[in-house]
Structure 1
Amino acid sequence: MSPSSSTLAPAARATLDRWYGFVKSGDAADLSPLLAKDIVFRSPFVHNPLPGHAAALLTLTTVSKIFEDFQYHREFVAGPRDAALEFSGHIGDWQLKGIDLVRFNDAGEMVEFEVMIRPFKALQALGDAMTARIGPQLAAFKAGAKA
């Protein structure tokens, strides 16, 4: 994907470019420095946001291994620290489309990451795959988010 011209701040642009590199590699070492320690991750199948670096790192690296034929199509910039990334892929037989909403801090770190996916059956398949791989860890993060 070639990024569109944008008004993202230079630090946010650099992080987003490195994000695209992580998506190709799936390597947690590529992702970890992009996430703020206090990042808030909003999952499409978890009601409460998951706070913190560890939850976002685990979730995003796991998802990167579950999606098949994942690709970004368009990038929308809403200001110097806000971007929306349209993506597609599939999980088993389910084709999906989605949007990642990303907010960056002044240093360019991701401080909010929200995922939206359709159709519902693809979201269910993702939830099942995530539960099978990291269910107990996600439950612990969910419990910590409620406390």
Structure 2
Amino acid sequence: MTALQGLQPEAQKTLTRWHEILIQKDTSTLAEITSDSVVFRSPAVFTPFAGKQAFVFIIATVAGLFEDFRYHRQFASADGSSAVLEFEANIGDKTLKGIDMIRFDENGLIAEFEVMIRPANALVALAQKMGEQAGPGLAHMRAASA
């Protein structure tokens, strides 16, 4: 994707790297563009996940589950510290649409990441697959942070 007009320069560098990570399907460097205190808000559960380890684990798992993932549009906030990315992907026989809402910290690192997905049946399919793939690991991370 092209540079996002209005995004702060350090955030733009992170966003460019984010796109490269997803295109290459290689999340091994994701931690480098993520704040230690990142907060991830899932479309499937109410309580957010805090910390870099949980974020990287979740994104790596989802990246492995999505088929034919692609971004369509992206928008920057007026202050240049946030971006909204519209995406589409397949999960099994379901097609989903969604948005990633990303807030960057003062260093341009991902500080908050919230996902919204529709339709409901595709979200349910994703939640089931995530539960199968990542459920025990996420439960362990929640227990360790409590």
TM-score, normalized by the shorter chain, greater than 0.5: yes
Q: Match of 1:11?
A: 10
The correspondence of residues 11-30 of structure 1 with structure 2, limited to 5 A, is: 11-30=10-29
User: Does the 8 Å contact 1:100/1:113 carry over to 2?
Assistant: yes
User: Does the 8 Å contact 1:48/1:142 carry over to 2?
Assistant: no
* Count of matched residue pairs: 145
Gaps of 5+ in 2: none
Q: Does 1:98 align with 2:98?
A: yes
Higher deviation after alignment, 72-81 or 8-17: 72-81
4+ aligned runs moved over 2 Å, structure 1? 1-4, 140-145
* Residue type of the alignment partner of 1:115: V
User: Does the 8 Å contact 2:38/2:110 carry over to 1?
Assistant: yes
Q: Match of 2:2?
A: 2
Gaps of 5+ in 1: none
The structural deviation recorded for 1:29 is: 1.9
TM-score of the two chains, using structure 1 as the length reference: 0.93
* Residue type of the alignment partner of 1:63: V
User: Does the 8 Å contact 1:42/1:114 carry over to 2?
Assistant: yes
Q: Match of 1:84?
A: 84
* Residue type of the alignment partner of 2:48: P
Q: Does 1:115 align with 2:104?
A: no
In angstroms, what is the RMSD of aligned CA positions? 1.3
- Cα distance in 2 between the residues matched to 1:139 and 1:26: 25
